[in-house]
Amino acid sequence: MITVDADDPTPPFEQIRAALAAEITSGRLAGGHRLPTVRQIAGDLHVAVGTAARAYRELEEAGLVETRRSQGTLVRHDQIEAFDLDQATAELVRTIPRDQVALAEVLKAVETAWNLANSD
């Protein structure tokens, strides 16, 4: 869920842009997913329509979304990076001191983290 923090010094349009970009690049918003209208997201987040429009415009300039007449703003299919499980696993394993942690402990820690992340 995207939020705008009024106490954050980051401009609201940038908070919206960054949050949507993270959702898109992580794959949580799939290619072809239709974003809310500018007016809808502005209303939901209690920001000016121009603020939401700027966030969408910057996402479009970055190539993450495209706006089509009568279809709205859609996540581009070709800009979503595929998640590489093997690479992510290799990076995790490289950071764990094998002489201090048993494989069973690593597996349990991953399972716990997975369950916590998916309980939201």
CATH code that applies to domain 12-79: 1.10.10.10
Contact 74, 65 (CB under 8 A): yes
Query: What are the residue boundaries of the structural domains of the chain, listed by start?
Result: 12-79, 85-117
According to the model, what pLDDT value does residue 53 have? 97
Q: How far apart are CA 33 and CA 77, in angstroms?
A: 9
Rounded-to-integer distance, Cα 40 and Cα 24, Å: 19
68 has which bridge partners?
A: 72
Per-residue pLDDT of the chain (120 residues; tens, 9 = 90+): 799 999 999 999 999 999 999 898 888 898 999 999 999 999 999 999 999 999 999 999 999 999 999 899 999 987 555 556 777 788 888 888 889 999 999 999 989 988 888 775
